[in-house]
């Protein structure tokens, strides 16, 4: 890749074949990377905001947009791209899960067909009331196949990163848009903020999501954050990192369980036990030193009380 161009310019480059073009566009004080992954597939990634991803699928009836960034400032890049194609808004908006960095950026949803799990809508209403124009909501709780402009889109519930996480599978392109069930190497292993037990990640289910994706045999996987990798490399990266983090955090959580109930360091016992159930199944790893440096940053993302425990006991971890 060439050295980054000034913010005022657009840099065109080609990777993975001529059909995969990259442009860097000014967005919210940083670069919005735009990657064409096929004739009808465009990936937007904001490298200044946790490498958040939005995907646009072009159809005969208009664009389908998957996820929406965190802010309207970020989403302007997507709106400009749609305008270049002759569209004011998406024909369809899809949310892979309820987190704000995937749902709040598209502020112009009035009259737009918007697809998400019922759990996703409930979480949005509870956590972000009146945050968006009211779309034409369509909700599902089981596998659902949507037809948009001749394109068949499979929406597959896949609890892992969150209980409401959804895989978007497009058979025509052999494409899986994974949401945050998969993330690229550019970002830390992501844990959602545990605001409410109903919306917390389901650690027992996340490994099954990896198996679910493998069964689809995709040729292209787009993660919720970070760059696209070859499918098996992307899955192996996430599986290995998941096991590494759980092994180390399991050791911390085992000590945390010893704290008396009711102290200032007490927090959700169910969450701790979920970590332990996964950590106990992890194989021996060869990256202990790197994990020692990163585990405190990873754990800090779970919640404030989790952080308090780590800060209290982390110094004693060998």
Which domains does the chain possess?
11-229 (3.60.15.10), 243-316 (no CATH)
Model confidence at 293: pLDDT above 50: no
For residues 104-114, average pLDDT: 93
The predicted pLDDT at position 96 comes to 97
Residue 232 has pLDDT above 90, yes or no: yes
47 pLDDT tier (thresholds 50, 70, 90): confident
Q: What are the pLDDT digits (tens) for 159-173?
A: 888 889 999 999 999
Length of the chain: 318
Query: Of 192, 49, 54, 28, which Cα lies nearest the Cα of 120?
Result: 192
Average pLDDT over residues 129-154: 91
Mean pLDDT lowest among 39-53, 54-68, 71-85, 176-190: 176-190
Q: What is the pLDDT of residue 262?
A: 55
Q: What is the pTM of this model?
A: 0.74
Quickly state the pLDDT bin for 134 (edges 50, 70, 90). confident
């Amino acid at each position: 890749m060439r050295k980054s161009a000034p913010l005022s310019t657009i840099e065109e480059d080609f990777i993975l074949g001529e059909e995969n073009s990259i442009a860097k566009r000014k967005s919210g004080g940083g670069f919005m990377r735009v990657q064409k992954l096929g004739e009808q597939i465009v990936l937007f990634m904001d490298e200044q905001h946790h490498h958040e991803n939005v995907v646009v699928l072009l159809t005969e009836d208009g664009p389908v947009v998957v996820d929406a960034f965190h802010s309207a400032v970020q989403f302007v890049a997507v709106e400009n791209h749609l305008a270049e194609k002759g569209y004011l808004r998406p024909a369809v908006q899809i949310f892979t899960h309820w987190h704000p960095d995937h749902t709040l950026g598209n502020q112009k949803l009035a009259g737009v067909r918007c697809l998400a799990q019922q759990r996703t809508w409930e979480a949005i209403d509870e956590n972000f009331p009146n945050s968006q124009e009211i779309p034409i909501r369509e909700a599902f709780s089981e596998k659902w196949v949507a037809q948009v402009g001749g394109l068949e889109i499979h929406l597959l519930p896949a609890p892992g990163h969150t209980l409401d996480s959804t895989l978007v599978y497009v058979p025509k392109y052999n494409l899986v848009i994974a949401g945050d069930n998969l993330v690229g190497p550019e970002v830390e292993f992501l844990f959602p903020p545990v605001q409410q037990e109903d919306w917390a990640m389901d650690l027992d289910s996340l490994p099954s999501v990896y198996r679910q994706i493998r069964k689809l045999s995709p040729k292209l996987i787009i993660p919720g954050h970070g760059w696209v990798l070859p499918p098996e490399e992307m899955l192996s990266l996430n599986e290995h990192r998941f096991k590494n983090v759980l092994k180390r955090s399991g050791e911390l959580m085992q000590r945390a369980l010893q704290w008396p109930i009711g102290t200032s360091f007490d927090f959700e016992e169910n969450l701790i036990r979920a970590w332990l159930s996964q950590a106990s199944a992890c194989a021996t790893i060869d990256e202990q030193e790197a994990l020692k440096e990163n585990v405190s940053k990873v754990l800090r993302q779970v919640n404030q009380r989790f952080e308090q425990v780590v800060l209290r006991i982390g110094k004693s971890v060998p």
